[in-house]
Amino acid sequence: MKKILIMNGPNLNLLGVREKSIYGSQDFVSYFEALKQQFASLQLHYFQSNSEGALIDKIHEVGFDFDGIVLNAGAYTHTSVALGDAIAAITTPVVEVHISNVHQREEFRHHSFLAKNCQGVICGFGLDSYRLGIEALIK
Ligand code: CA2
């Protein structure tokens, strides 16, 4: 059974609670339950942290064993050289995802420190970006 980790970075624990006009009204835990049903043939895992170090530790923990990581690093996408280096250091392929279309937003969201070390980037499809990320990894 393929093992895929979905990782969310800072503030994404607030999905469905605040800023619904940008990020939608569904909380991630209920969305994750639906994903698990949809991909019953996969072992799906979920990890969220607001801490850059905890995200890096998790990438190191699973990055030589899991079959894929779907990563929404939130604002760390645009700031973290360290997360980019962590992705470069592992063997597990990573797909970067975003709920919003970051290219339609502020200029600082147009750059990613992660993208060049990822298999690809998916953004702008709401929570469906995560499903598309899984599809890309299992193809
Ligand atoms: O669109 C995305 O998925 C982002 O990764 C979300 C990040 C943002 O910094 C990126 O530029 C794009 C922000 C996540 C904040 O999530 C919240 C969710 C609900 C309420 C408040 C914040």
Tens digit of each residue's pLDDT, the chain (139 residues): 999 999 999 999 999 877 888 888 899 999 999 999 999 999 999 999 999 999 999 999 999 999 999 999 999 999 999 999 999 999 999 999 999 999 999 999 999 999 999 999 999 999 999 999 999 999 9
pLDDT of residue 124: 98
pLDDT of residue 122: 98
* Predicted TM-score (pTM) of this structure: 0.97
Which of 98, 103, 107, 129 to mutate for ligand 1's pocket (most ligand atoms within 8 Å of CB)?
98
Ligand 1 centroid, distance to 1 Cα (angstroms)? 31
Does the C-beta of 72 come closer than 6 Å to ligand 1?
yes
For residue 100, give the ligand 1 atom closest to its CA. 1
Between the alpha carbon of residue 10 and those of residues 16, 44, 73, 76, 77, the distances in Å are 14, 20, 7, 8, 10
pLDDT of residue 18: 76
pLDDT of residue 48: 98
**Residue 96 φ then ψ, to 5°:** -80, 130
pLDDT of residue 21: 86
pLDDT of residue 57: 98
Question: What DSSP letter does each residue of 97-133 carry, written as one string?
Answer: EESS-GGGS-GGGS--SSGGGSSEEEESSTTHHHHHH
* Residues labelled catalytic: 23, 98
pLDDT of residue 46: 98
**Residue 57 φ then ψ, to 5°:** -60, -40
Question: What DSSP letter does each residue of the chain carry, written as one string?
Answer: --EEEEEE-TTGGGTTTS-HHHH-S--HHHHHHHHHHHTTTSEEEEEE-S-HHHHHHHHHHHTTTSSEEEEE-GGGGGT-HHHHHHHHH-SS-EEEEESS-GGGS-GGGS--SSGGGSSEEEESSTTHHHHHHHHHHH-
- For domain 3-138, give its CATH number from 3.40.190.10, 3.40.50.9100, 3.20.20.70, 3.40.50.1390: 3.40.50.9100
